[in-house]
């Protein structure tokens, strides 16, 4: 109990620090996709800077969680993970020491692609979990595993399911749960977190949604929800759903004569600037956000940094990520935040996901399951330690999570928790 109170105090302190620094707002603390602020940077300290040759110590593991590519969500007293079992998406709760608490079906899994596994990382806020099923069920689940409310927002708004299925981890803002159905009725929708009633609908852009988990940014009390539609990056007022601005991301890539148009990675925000990068040979951009509602301004663009599904992190003045050379091959990359200059591009097994904690980078490559501990720097990729995740099935697409000195890694229907202390 004492530990849980200390953890709650730490979470509130982190929210205050990020708000004061002018970064992303944590006006309603939440746990979930790529950490509390969706940056991929976890607020941890005193972690190992070198691992044993066999890797960090395994604390516990779980099997038969259902197949999926989602990450774990960690709270003060539980670890939650989604997975596909049969035709259903299920949510499982574990205690901190790995005991299974409960499992609940929260919707039907996607049927639209070759990759039908669960993708939604649960969002936890104020004692509730918010999820989206593969067929568009926005669901609120209590800590006891009971469904509080559910609404299929894709059916409600006659939205077309994206080619590779619905992939969204809800954002919670001031007791509102955000979904992005796209289509001809609403680009974005806010639901009341308590009962699932519609609070506001943003105007339609008459284009579909994509695969990006929205980001909340704030400046001088103005809160903006940022995400990708089928062609644009948009900014929506979190209070009333008003579309403040849109940036034509597809047009930038049309100039470069690039290929596909799938948008997957949550953008990075710092001090009035937004960075967006996606795979399929697309050009990354840094844009200046104007909170008065005027259109964003292009600062620089760089075709070298084009992460497929693994995200990116911003440490100091450098962006670290991976490249999408082909569907089966990619490298690792470092780009200067201020100038857009590519500092290095390096092979290390294959492309994958990237997060950070305690000043170090953690890479999880997608083909063979190598996990790397990396000292960040603009000169080279400096891999200090590595090990392999050998259990589980399918590609290694789930992003790792770091919490309470532990590394939490998912591979298909397998979940492993390692000690980083």
Residues β-bridged to residue 391: none
Number of Cβ atoms within 10 Å of the Cβ of 421: 11
CATH assignment at residue 307: 2.130.10.10
Exposed, middle or buried: residue 163 (CB in 10 Å: 0-12, 13-18, 19+)?
Answer: exposed
What burial class does residue 196 get, using C-beta atoms within 10 Å of its C-beta: 0-12 exposed, 13-18 middle, 19+ buried? middle
Number of H helices, E strands in the chain: 3, 35
Alpha-carbon span 49 to 32, nearest angstrom: 25
Query: What's the token pair of residue 334?
Result: 């470092």
Distance, CA of 237 to CA of 11 (rounded, Å): 25
The confidence score (pLDDT) of residue 14 equals 41
Q: Radius of gyration of the chain from Cα atoms?
A: 20
Report the candidate in 130, 129, 90 with the shortest Cα–Cα distance to residue 109.
Answer: 90
402 and 393 Cβ atoms separated by less than 8 Å? no
Range of the domain at 167: 2-419
Rounded-to-integer distance, Cα 375 and Cα 381, Å: 8
Distance, CA of 280 to CA of 210 (rounded, Å) = 14
Q: Determine whether 21 is exposed, middle or buried from the number of CB atoms within 10 Å of its CB (0-12, 13-18, 19+).
A: exposed
Q: Please give the tally of structural domains in the chain.
A: 1
Strand runs labelled E in 340-413? 342-346, 352-357, 360-365, 370-375, 382-388, 401-403, 406-411
pLDDT at 267: 98
Are 77 and 96 in contact by the 8 Å Cβ rule? The answer is yes
Cβ 414 vs Cβ 62: under 8 Å = yes
Compute the distance between CA of residue 331 and CA of residue 318 in angstroms, rounded to an integer. Answer: 17
> What is the rounded CA–CA span in Å between residue 263 and residue 279?
8
CA dist 129 and 141 (Å) reads: 5
Q: Classify burial at 46, counting beta carbons within 10 Å of its beta carbon; exposed 0-12, middle 13-18, buried 19 or more.
A: exposed
Residue 371: name the closest of 155, 96, 52 by CA. 52
Each residue's pLDDT, cut to its tens digit, for the chain (421 residues) gives 433 344 344 444 443 333 333 344 444 568 999 999 999 999 999 999 999 999 999 999 999 999 999 999 999 999 999 999 999 999 999 999 999 999 999 999 998 878 899 999 999 999 999 999 999 999 999 999 999 999 999 999 999 999 888 999 999 999 999 999 999 999 999 999 999 999 999 999 999 999 999 999 998 889 999 999 999 999 999 999 999 999 999 888 887 665 567 999 999 999 999 999 999 989 999 999 988 889 999 999 999 999 999 999 999 999 999 999 999 999 999 999 999 999 999 999 999 999 999 999 999 999 999 999 999 999 999 999 999 999 999 999 999 999 999 999 999 999 999 999 9
Strand partners, 305: none
Strands 41-42 and 352-357: parallel
Order of strands, sheet of 273-276, starting from the edge strand that comes earlier in the sequence = 268-270, 273-276, 284-288, 297-302
C-alpha distances (whole Å) from 305 to each of 32, 113, 114, 381 are: 25, 27, 27, 15
């Amino acid at each position: 109990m004492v530990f849980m109170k200390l953890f709650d105090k730490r979470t509130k302190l982190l929210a205050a620090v990020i708000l004061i620094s002018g970064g992303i707002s944590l006006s309603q603390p939440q746990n979930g996709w790529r950490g509390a602020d969706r940056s991929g940077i976890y607020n941890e300290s005193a972690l190992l800077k070198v691992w044993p040759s066999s890797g960090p110590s395994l604390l516990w593991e779980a099997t038969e969680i259902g197949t999926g590519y989602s990450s774990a969500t960690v709270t003060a007293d539980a670890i939650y993970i989604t997975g596909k079992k049969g035709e259903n998406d299920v949510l499982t709760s574990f205690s901190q020491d790995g005991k299974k608490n409960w499992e609940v079906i929260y919707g039907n899994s996607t049927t639209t692609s070759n990759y039908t596994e669960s993708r939604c990382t649960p969002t936890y806020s104020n004692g509730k979990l918010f999820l989206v099923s593969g067929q568009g069920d926005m669901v609120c689940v209590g800590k006891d595993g009971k469904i509080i409310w559910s609404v299929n927002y894709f059916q409600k708004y006659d939205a077309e399911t994206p080619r590779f299925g619905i992939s969204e981890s809800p954002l919670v803002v001031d007791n509102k749960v955000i979904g992005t159905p796209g289509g001809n009725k609403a680009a974005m929708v806010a639901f009341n977190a308590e009962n699932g009633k519609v609070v506001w609908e943003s105007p339609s852009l008459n284009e579909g949604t994509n695969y990006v988990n929205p980001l909340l940014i704030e400046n001088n009390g103005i809160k903006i929800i940022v995400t990708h539609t089928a062609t644009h990056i948009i900014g929506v007022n979190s209070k009333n759903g008003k579309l403040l601005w849109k940036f034509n991301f597809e047009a930038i890539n049309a100039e470069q004569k690039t290929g596909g148009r799938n948008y997957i990675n949550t953008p990075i925000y710092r001090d009035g600037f937004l960075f967006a990068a996606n795979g399929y040979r697309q050009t990354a951009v840094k844009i200046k956000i104007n909170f008065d509602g005027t259109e964003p301004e292009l600062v620089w663009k760089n075709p070298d940094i084009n992460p497929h599904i693994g995200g990116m992190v911003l440490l100091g003045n450098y962006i670290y990520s991976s490249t999408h050379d082909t569907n089966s091959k990619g490298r690792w990359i470092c780009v200067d935040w201020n100038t857009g200059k590519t500092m290095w591009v390096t092979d290390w097994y294959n492309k994958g996901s990237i997060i950070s904690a305690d000043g170090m980078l953690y890479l999880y490559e997608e083909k063979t399951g190598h996990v790397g501990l990396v000292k960040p720097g603009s000169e080279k990729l400096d891999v200090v330690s590595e090990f392999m995740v050998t259990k589980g099935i399918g590609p290694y697409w789930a992003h790792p999570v770091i919490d309470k000195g532990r590394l939490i890694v998912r591979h298909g229907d397998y979940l492993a928790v390692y000690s980083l202390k």
